[in-house]
Amino acid sequence: MTEAVEVELEQFTRGDMQAFEALFREYHGEVYGWVIRIVRDSGVAEDLTIETFWRIYRARARFDSRRSFGAWARRIATNLALEHLSTRRPEKSLDDSLRVRFPATGTPDPAIGADVRAKVVAAFDELPAKLRVTATLALIEERPYAEIADALGISTNGVKSRVFRAVRLLRKSLEKRGVCP
């Protein structure tokens, strides 16, 4: 971390609005991208990103300016996204990355794809929020386990455990729905 960044972070912790605005400009895209990976809804992600920065500003005195601001922001954003997922079912769970494709051409098979996709989405939506977030970030977004662990405030082994449990639950749920995982 450069000395200029350290000074900016120190000013932020003392309530300097210009330092906060600079941090907002620098990190809002990263926080939004992180949140949308979890909630999969751009409108909700926008709202949660603003709420994240509101909470960051209110908690500025507790921030240790020697630590990573981005990691702290992701952790706050993750907690908000988890809270959102726990209280509401997402309207959009997964995107087109789950479409079944013809092996030879790589084009989607609309008949099979829609049915399987609906079953996968339903199985994902049944997961507890903590497992759903972890599975989404690890399996769909392919984020590094260390990054997920930092954002969730758990160990890397905790992430691995949650992914394992999520995959096991997804397999059971898909088998009940007639989909062979």
What whole-number percentage of the chain has pLDDT above 90? 46
Residue 108 main-chain phi, psi, to 5 deg: -70, 145
For the chain, domains (ranges, CATH) are: 3-87 (1.10.1740.10), 96-176 (1.10.10.10)
Q: Looking at residues 34-41, what average pLDDT do you find? A: 90
Q: Are 38 and 81 in contact (CB under 8 A)?
A: yes
Q: Looking at residues 15-26, what average pLDDT do you find? A: 92
In this predicted model, what pLDDT tens digit does every residue of 68-122 receive, in sequence order?
899 999 999 999 999 998 886 544 444 444 444 445 555 555 656 778 888 888 8
Q: Could you give the CA distance from residue 134 to residue 44 in angstroms, rounded to a whole number?
A: 18
Residue holding tokens 């386990």? 145
- Residue from 143, 138, 142 nearest 160 by CA: 138
Q: What is the pLDDT of residue 177?
A: 85
Q: What is the mean pLDDT of the chain?
A: 84
* 0.95 surpassed by pTM: no
- Token pair for 84: 């959102």
**Beta-ladder partners of 101:** 108
- Token pair for 115: 């049915």
Q: What is the pLDDT of residue 100?
A: 44
